[in-house]
Chains A and B, each alone.
Chain A
Amino acid sequence: MKNVITTHHLTKTYGSGEAAVHALCDCNVSFEEGKFIAIVGTSGSGKSTLLHLLGGLDTASSGEVCYGETSILKMNDTELSQFRRRNIGFVFQFFNLIPELTAEENVLLPLMIDKVKPDRTYFKGLTETLGISNRLSHYPSQLSGGQQQRTAIARALIHKPKVLLCDEPTGNLDSKSGQEVLNLLRRMQQDMGQTVIMVTHDADIASQADHIVRIEDGKIVKE
């Protein structure tokens, strides 16, 4: 199977000198296309850092993150932003919805940024699948946690990205809502053939993934 993302000697250090914290050390890992992959580890192990570096949300101290042949860490901000909005979808633990915008506006926002006209059929199908079609005119504060996360997933999927990066997407939800979100992610991955990389510290959730990448103290210990 073809690797969609590969990292080479990826390192991230916060601070300098004696106060330096090595969040990620010489990390070499690859992710297969079309798989549902879980990154697991204890708190502070560096799993979120890895996910942010994979998505270009953070800059690495050294090393490379390659999507196929393309190294995203060499891109400037404008190129990286464009690459991200077209190829990567993000789902965060705290949803990161913009409170001033309605659910519909939040979902369509990436397309607007990219100046792309939304595919209304796809949008309708996506929101219906995610069960938020009747909540589109609501603001995030008027939605439940599960609905907010499903809105965030819709936003991540609206431009049909190749890779979906999820940072503990169920961490802020009850078990029932969490499971619903997981099922949805799995279904989307299967229907759309996307690669889903999910950070979690929940062993049960991780067990539902095709692959598990374990990380401890900033190092990949098992792939």
Chain B
Amino acid sequence: MKFQSFLLLRYWSKHKGKALSLILSILLFTISTVCMMFSERTEVRRQLHALYDRYGNYSFTIHNVTEQQWQEISDLPLIEKSGTTISCGRIAIGRSSYTCGAFADENGEAMSHYPLLSGEFPEQTGEIAVPEFMLTGKNTNAEIGDTVCFSFTDLDGSQSQQSWTLCGILSNEISRLNLDYSYTAVSGVEGQSVEYASPCVLFSKEEAGAQTHYINLLLAPHDSLYTSDEQSEQWGTETVEPLYSLGNPITLGRQAFIISTMSQQTTGSEVYTVESTDNMKVLRMLFVIMAVISAIALFSGVVSVMPERIRSLRLLKCVGMSNRSLTGIFLLEFFIFWLIGSIAGILIACGVHEILLAIQSVLGEPRYRGYFAEWLVTQRTASPFLLPLMLSALISLLVMIYPIMHVAKLQSIQAAQKRFARRTASRRLGGLFSRILGGKTIAMLQCVSLVLVLSASMFGYLYYTDSGKGTSYLTLGQADTETNFYVVDNVNLEENEIDCALTGLRPQTNVGIGIADTSSGISEDAVKTLSGQSKVFAWGVYATDHVVCYDSWKDAPKAISSYRSELNSDWEHYEHFKDLALYRIPLIFLNDTMMEKLCGTPVAHETIVVSKSGTSPYEVGDSIPMITALYDAAQDTVPFDSIKNIPVTVDRSVSITQEQLDTDAFLNAVFGSLDSCAIVMTVSYAEELGFYAPCYTSAQLKFTEDITNEEIEALVKPLLTDTVSYVTLSDLQKEQRILRYSSMAGILVLFLLFFVICFIGYCNTIRMKMNQNIQNLRRLHDIGMSVFEIKRRLIWSVLQIPFWAIGITGGLVWSFQTFMKNRYDTYASLLRQQQEGVGNTEFPDGFFYYAVEEFDKSDALYDITIRMEELKESWMLEYELWLPRPWGAWVLFGSVILILVAVAAILSVHRIRERMEKKEEIL
């Protein structure tokens, strides 16, 4: 061994460059695989902590638990800890409602996730702790000890304005933020929903308990996630199944999926996993691609060095060394290179990972390092150190099998002589040069790796930028994601240069009767105040299905007969209205600016019937009997004496053309979806006529001067109420910028990794190729080929590979595109047949989804629908959305790869002259 080490040392000290290249190949492979493993762990950790933010530190939340069920649960084995929280009602801010409640016991507090920013949790009746965003949404600067007033709805639906003393402010990181969230997140069992999530507004236990109706039970098999448990499988059978057998709605916390995974337990109707996100899929795909590319680089490196090395070992054989000793040298050599390359690779990968985390951190992502992870994560991900080390060892061994076998079989010098197949003489210098350089196998592998790099880059680009998405019948993507981003209430703020948009709550509607409540929408006063500062486009739709009634169907104009309203028999005043003929016609309020757009001049005291393309069912002078009613929120009822029948007389009839709708964003926003006609008037005229609480539901503010976001806020905020929210264009632009930059950063990091490895790998391979052929190159120079010509031909021989790769990728993309387009066309054709079969005359402008079950098996539409479902579920049909615009990305990344390889080639051949002049290597 000592002698072998000595020989190795002597040989490689004379060939430091080659040794470095070989180590570099292993190093690159290790860096890429370790980085990818780190990234995977980071992503899993990120998701895990997101679960924590959402659900807290528990496994299950079981809703609507009765006392008896509570007893049953308490008797279950393997429950380490349990706690209860109480829900007692909700508080509404704007359009959202937030669950109120309290911890029922200490465990409830410990296991939930309620970070306090300041103050303390409520302990006495009359105290309240709320998340910070609620105070912001309420537009109050309330501090600890101040009195705060909210509209509270208890579990029986009774609403009242109540005051509490603010005793604590919770972080916005709190879980279970609002009902929108809760309704979707909480119902863990299909078909079962719960009205209330775990609370995010906290009362004292006494105050909440007085109205307790729902109980959340929290179970935690562990105090934390950071230890392993051998009893996971038992949880599944002894604990989880009985929980589900209770039949209550269940929310899964972050530990639940351990059980579902480790015991292969199907929890209820779903198996919970954290890995099935797009990010994870993309990361894994990238990991595989990077591993393949790096393996090819490693293989190229080893193969390039081998001929030289074998010649050297052959000489040792000649001086008496046994084949076994030679194999030993080879294995020792491999081990040393692998060790150095891997260790250095891991160290560098740690550095790269830190840089990636720093970039993510700048973009607001928490730093979840991938080196070590919670036990839970280690169960889901492979070791970022062990797996790459094993893989690099395996690949290194695989690529060395041939040379090792070759060395082991060495019989004599002649046995190892290079043999060539007979061939006729080539007449082309280019062909001869390629033969001199050799390495066709390596070139092919490099070509494959470049095809992978280019494909992955294109995929990444199209994926992250959404630029590959098109519109389709499948509605799986949106063509103009970025444009839609700026659309508020059907108006694109950016295109129309709107500085700020207000959105109000629409008046409540019920059972086909137009009902107002006094707390809804943007007031006329607010719009008037803002009109002094800016141009305001405001409109409101007063109960979208505002009711027009006639004594009988015959009295109604025929043109509106299709908009008949069905009365809900559950409604308390059903009996009174059931014999009337009711129709739904929108009543729309416009402010002066909008009236001017519609009529050419401001109109203050007129009732206008607006119809599309002159199909108005009413004429000027017609009387329209309209019903209005006032909703009493406190009583949750519509008092009968508030119902009024208000006949309005048509003063003006306006026909609105499609051209007007196409050219005017505001008219389009209000009247674009008009079916038949609408009755239009100003808010003040509606009040004069006797309508309850008319208001605007949308207002767009266009300031005439440059105005800052802060100034807009100062103007708008005093006018806001609980039911009115606002967004500024600059806020949206900022958000869009963050999204875009995040996407760009993601792409950049991805491409940097790809391209850096590609670049270094190429430099390395070209250098090795040059070193291996340096004698031949020198010979060419001796017989008259200039160094410039040698460099040119070397660079070209290298550049041919990316050219081939770009061509092959283009061909693959084209084939894939054609293939997918055929599938998509098939789907579109089936969809057309289906829609025509069901008599949808609006297709393709509108279409309806039909499940297979909706058709009889003997119906032709059944087979069509089955084929459609099969197509939709089959391989990557959804990715037809990636196909509309791949060629820009192809040109872009093809060029980048070409430039990178060219630069790598130019840099690598830069010092070729000096290399050729090293005499000891030449003659």
Binds B, one of A32-40, A90-98, A180-188: A90-98
**A105 contacts B425, C-beta separation under 8 Å:** yes
Q: Does A99 contact B (CB under 8 A)?
A: yes
Q: How far is the CB of A100 from chain B (nearest CB, A)?
A: 5
Q: How far is the CB of B923 from chain A (nearest CB, A)?
A: 7
**B418 contacts A81, C-beta separation under 8 Å:** no
Binds B, one of A60-68, A107-115, A194-202: A107-115
Q: Does B6 contact A (CB under 8 A)?
A: no
**B923 contacts A92, C-beta separation under 8 Å:** yes
Q: Does A144 contact B (CB under 8 A)?
A: no
CB-CB under 8 A for A110 and B438, given A100-B420, A141-B420: no
Question: What is the chain B residue whose CB lies nearest that of A14?
Answer: B919
**Interface residue count for B (Cβ, 8 Å)?**
31
CB-CB under 8 A for A141 and B422, given A81-B781, A85-B784, A113-B783: no
A contact residues around B580 at 8 Å (CB): none
Q: How far is the CB of A81 from chain B (nearest CB, A)?
A: 3
A contact residues around B787 at 8 Å (CB): 77, 81
Q: How far is the CB of A118 from chain B (nearest CB, A)?
A: 9
**A102 contacts B423, C-beta separation under 8 Å:** yes
Query: CB-CB contacts of A54-83 with B at 8 A, as 1s and 0s?
Result: 010110000000000000000001101110
**Interface residue count for A (Cβ, 8 Å)?**
37
Q: Does A4 contact B (CB under 8 A)?
A: no
A contact residues around B438 at 8 Å (CB): 100
In whole angstroms, what is the CA distance A94 to B424 when docked? Answer: 25
Q: Does A150 contact B (CB under 8 A)?
A: no
Give the contacts of A153-181 with B (CB-CB under 8 A): 155-156
Give the contacts of B772-819 with A (CB-CB under 8 A): 776, 779-789
A contact residues around B423 at 8 Å (CB): 102, 137
**B436 contacts A110, C-beta separation under 8 Å:** no
A contact residues around B419 at 8 Å (CB): 141
Question: What is the chain A residue whose CB lies nearest that of B916?
Answer: A57
Question: What is the chain B residue whose CB lies nearest that of A159?
Answer: B784
CB-CB under 8 A for A98 and B788, given A90-B783, A141-B420: no
B contact residues around A77 at 8 Å (CB): 786-788, 913
In whole angstroms, what is the CA distance A139 to B417 when docked? Answer: 12
Selected contact of B424 from candidates A57, A93, A99, A137, CB within 8 Å? A137
**B420 contacts A81, C-beta separation under 8 Å:** no
A contact residues around B776 at 8 Å (CB): 98-100
B contact residues around A81 at 8 Å (CB): 781, 784-787, 789
Query: CB-CB contacts of B744-786 with A at 8 A, as 1s and 0s?
Result: 0000000000000000000000000000000010011111111
Question: What is the chain B residue whose CB lies nearest that of A87?
Answer: B784
**A155 contacts B432, C-beta separation under 8 Å:** no
Q: Does A86 contact B (CB under 8 A)?
A: yes
In whole angstroms, what is the CA distance A137 to B418 when docked? Answer: 16
Question: What is the chain B residue whose CB lies nearest that of A110?
Answer: B783
Q: Does A25 contact B (CB under 8 A)?
A: no
Q: How far is the CB of A151 from chain B (nearest CB, A)?
A: 12
In whole angstroms, what is the CA distance A100 to B422 when docked? Answer: 11
**A98 contacts B779, C-beta separation under 8 Å:** yes
In whole angstroms, what is the CA distance A105 to B426 when docked? Answer: 7
Q: How far is the CB of A48 from chain B (nearest CB, A)?
A: 8
A contact residues around B789 at 8 Å (CB): 78, 81, 113
Q: Does B558 contact A (CB under 8 A)?
A: no
Q: Does B429 contact A (CB under 8 A)?
A: yes
**B425 contacts A113, C-beta separation under 8 Å:** no
B contact residues around A90 at 8 Å (CB): 782-783
In whole angstroms, what is the CA distance A82 to B417 when docked? Answer: 34
B contact residues around A109 at 8 Å (CB): 429, 432, 780, 783
Q: How far is the CB of A161 from chain B (nearest CB, A)?
A: 10
B contact residues around A137 at 8 Å (CB): 422-425
In whole angstroms, what is the CA distance A90 to B783 when docked? Answer: 7
**A104 contacts B420, C-beta separation under 8 Å:** no
Question: What is the chain B residue whose CB lies nearest that of A57?
Answer: B782
Q: Does B554 contact A (CB under 8 A)?
A: no
Interface centre among A55, A86, A99 (most CB of B within 10 A): A99
B contact residues around A94 at 8 Å (CB): 923
In whole angstroms, what is the CA distance A104 to B566 when docked? Answer: 97
Q: Does B857 contact A (CB under 8 A)?
A: no
**B788 contacts A78, C-beta separation under 8 Å:** yes
Question: What is the chain B residue whose CB lies nearest that of A117?
Answer: B427
CB-CB under 8 A for A100 and B436, given A78-B788, A112-B429: yes
Q: Does A101 contact B (CB under 8 A)?
A: yes
Q: Does A84 contact B (CB under 8 A)?
A: yes
Question: What is the chain A residue whose CB lies nearest that of B437?
Answer: A100
**A155 contacts B783, C-beta separation under 8 Å:** yes
In whole angstroms, what is the CA distance A104 to B427 when docked? Answer: 10
Q: How far is the CB of B433 from chain A (nearest CB, A)?
A: 9
Q: Does A143 contact B (CB under 8 A)?
A: no
A contact residues around B436 at 8 Å (CB): 98, 100-101
B contact residues around A29 at 8 Å (CB): none
In whole angstroms, what is the CA distance A105 to B418 when docked? Answer: 18
In whole angstroms, what is the CA distance A113 to B785 when docked? Answer: 6
Q: Does A209 contact B (CB under 8 A)?
A: no
B contact residues around A112 at 8 Å (CB): 427-429, 432
Q: Does A205 contact B (CB under 8 A)?
A: no
Query: CB-CB contacts of B419-458 with A at 8 A, as 1s and 0s?
Result: 1101111111100100110100000000000000000000
In whole angstroms, what is the CA distance A114 to B789 when docked? Answer: 11
**A78 contacts B432, C-beta separation under 8 Å:** no
A contact residues around B435 at 8 Å (CB): 100-101
**B425 contacts A99, C-beta separation under 8 Å:** no
Give the contacts of B675-691 with A (CB-CB under 8 A): none
B contact residues around A99 at 8 Å (CB): 418, 420, 776
Selected contact of A139 from candidates B420, B427, B783, B784, CB within 8 Å? B420
**A102 contacts B425, C-beta separation under 8 Å:** yes
Question: What is the chain B residue whose CB lies nearest that of A102?
Answer: B425
A contact residues around B913 at 8 Å (CB): 77
A contact residues around B424 at 8 Å (CB): 137
Question: What is the chain A residue whose CB lies nearest that of B783?
Answer: A110
B contact residues around A115 at 8 Å (CB): 429
Selected contact of B780 from candidates A98, A102, A114, A136, CB within 8 Å? A98
Selected contact of A114 from candidates B417, B418, B784, CB within 8 Å? B784
**A85 contacts B783, C-beta separation under 8 Å:** yes
B contact residues around A96 at 8 Å (CB): 779, 782, 923
B contact residues around A155 at 8 Å (CB): 783
In whole angstroms, what is the CA distance A104 to B782 when docked? Answer: 18
**B420 contacts A108, C-beta separation under 8 Å:** no
B contact residues around A102 at 8 Å (CB): 423, 425
Q: How far is the CB of B413 from chain A (nearest CB, A)?
A: 12
A contact residues around B417 at 8 Å (CB): 141
Interface centre among A55, A100, A108, A156 (most CB of B within 10 A): A100
Interface centre among B417, B783, B788 (most CB of A within 10 A): B783
**B783 contacts A141, C-beta separation under 8 Å:** no
In whole angstroms, what is the CA distance A62 to B904 when docked? Answer: 35
B contact residues around A55 at 8 Å (CB): 782
In whole angstroms, what is the CA distance A109 to B432 when docked? Answer: 9
In whole angstroms, what is the CA distance A81 to B783 when docked? Answer: 8
Q: How far is the CB of B392 from chain A (nearest CB, A)?
A: 32
CB-CB under 8 A for A105 and B432, given A96-B779, A139-B420: yes
Residue contacts A-B, CB under 8 angstroms, 10 given? A58-B917, A78-B786, A81-B789, A85-B784, A90-B783, A96-B779, A96-B782, A98-B436, A109-B432, A110-B784
Minimum-distance CB pairs A-B, first 3? A85-B784, A81-B786, A112-B429
A104-B425, A113-B784 are known; give 5 further A-B pairs, CB within 8 A: A77-B913, A98-B779, A102-B423, A110-B784, A137-B424
Interface residues of A (CB under 8 A from B): 55, 57-58, 77-78, 80-82, 84-86, 90, 92-94, 96-102, 104-105, 108-110, 112-115, 136-137, 139, 141, 155-156
Interface residues of B (CB under 8 A from A): 417-420, 422-429, 432, 435-436, 438, 776, 779-789, 913, 917, 923
